[in-house]
Amino acid sequence: MPTDTSPAAGSLPARAPLAAMPGRPVLDVVIPVFNEEKDLGPCVRQLHEHLTRTFPYPFRITIADNASTDRTPQVAAALAADFEGVRSTRLEEQGRGRALRTVWSRSEAPVLAYMDVDLSTDLNALLPLVAPLISGHSDLAIGTRLTRSSRVVRGAKREFVSRAYNLILRSSLAARFSDAQCGFKAIRREVAERLLPLVEDSGWFFDTELLVLAERAGLRIHEVPVDWVDDPDSTVHIIRTATEDLKGIWRLGRALAAGALPLDRLARPFGDHPHDRTLPGVPRGLARQLLGFCVVGVFSTLSYLALYTFFRLGTGAQAANAAALLLSAIANTAANRRLTFGVRGRERALRHQAQGLLVFAIGLALTAGSLAALSAATDHPAHGTELAVLVTANLAATVLRFLLFRAWVFPERRTTHPKDTR
């Protein structure tokens, strides 16, 4: 996967609460429209009144006209002239994603949002939606109609389509957010600057793709339960939209599987992930590596004991111990390589296994010596006693194995990055 170390693609600054600046809105709410001459006026008036009454910061409402062929452009221009903080822009091509990308890319507001013109979502959810972005707690925020605390009024067909679509997202792209299609979302501008160039879709799949990429990059997505009433006059074509969404899922899934998207430039972009925090006197990543090593060790120990019991049915204690320890050591090295120390790919894999076998030899010496000492103490030790001795010896070998893995087999590679010359 390519890594771009240029300043433009580098790490973003740490999240911080936003402060209002003279002449600049804190929030820019985009309303993408196509042939909405009837609903546009009531929507903008109601939204403007609500923001004026409840929003404590400067705001802007941007009408993004998607090549309308009715009187929508004239209505938008009149609203921009009548209301302070309202502006309109026209695109000569259709596409909700294209409209959002265009307006968000040009906006100087630190928080960017959008909502559907039908105002199906209760506006009381708007402040809870953007508050975590203003405070610096989250990177994106979405309204969700699919939680128990959401109140939704809509037909059975739309309910089924929405839930089926989100189920497909969870099963195919491992998405964890609950509602991809609710037309009520917000994003911090510096996050949008990094994400938008990676989003390919310009239609209805745009915000789903944005969310999947954000989630894969480890960004924080805040969800707000909303009250939502279906618009019976909606012009959205369900079948056509669903078809385009499925195509988008297939395309995005292939790109993610092939590693074609440079998500490494987005991973933990703010530098404030708990795993990135260091403690005085504690080497970087030690706590995470210890946890991973212990988890792998538990499964390895259980596998070792099962293998030892199986081999012990047909051979002596020393031979059974050697065979069980060898097989479990190979699996243990492979698991620790991938899960504990984060080493991926085939490079140096054989060398790591060879080094792991040397570490295994030390463990074999400890356990074999323990068995020899037990045999010297009693002629016919019970099987339970053998297992207890082996577990104790393996605990001592485990501590030594972790130290050798960390310092010798999988040492931390220190990388240097070019200095930012801005």
Catalytic site residues?
Answer: 207
Rounded to 10°, the helix 126-135/40-54 angle is 50
Round to whole Å and give the CA distance between 216 and 340. 20
Do 178 and 146 contact (CB within 8 A), yes or no? yes
Residue 124's SS3 state is helix
Do 329 and 360 contact (CB within 8 A), yes or no? yes
Round to whole Å and give the CA distance between 59 and 24. 8
Residue 58's SS3 state is coil
Residue 83's SS3 state is coil
Strands 59-66 and 27-33: parallel
CA distances from 80 to 33, 36, 120, 193 (A): 15, 15, 23, 26
Round to whole Å and give the CA distance between 61 and 64. 10
Q: Which residues pair with 113 in a beta bridge?
A: 29, 186
Do 222 and 137 contact (CB within 8 A), yes or no? yes
Strands 27-33 and 184-188: unpaired
Rounded to 10°, the helix 40-54/72-82 angle is 30
CA distances from 287 to 106, 294, 301, 410 (A): 43, 11, 21, 16
Q: Looking up tokens 């707690």, which residue turns up?
A: 137
Round to whole Å and give the CA distance between 140 and 349. 39
How far is CA 150 from its chain centroid?
Answer: 23
Burial of 240 (0-12, 13-18, 19+ CB in 10 A): exposed
Q: In the structure, how many helices (H) and strands (E) does the chain have?
A: 12, 9
R_g of the chain, CA atoms, integer Å: 29
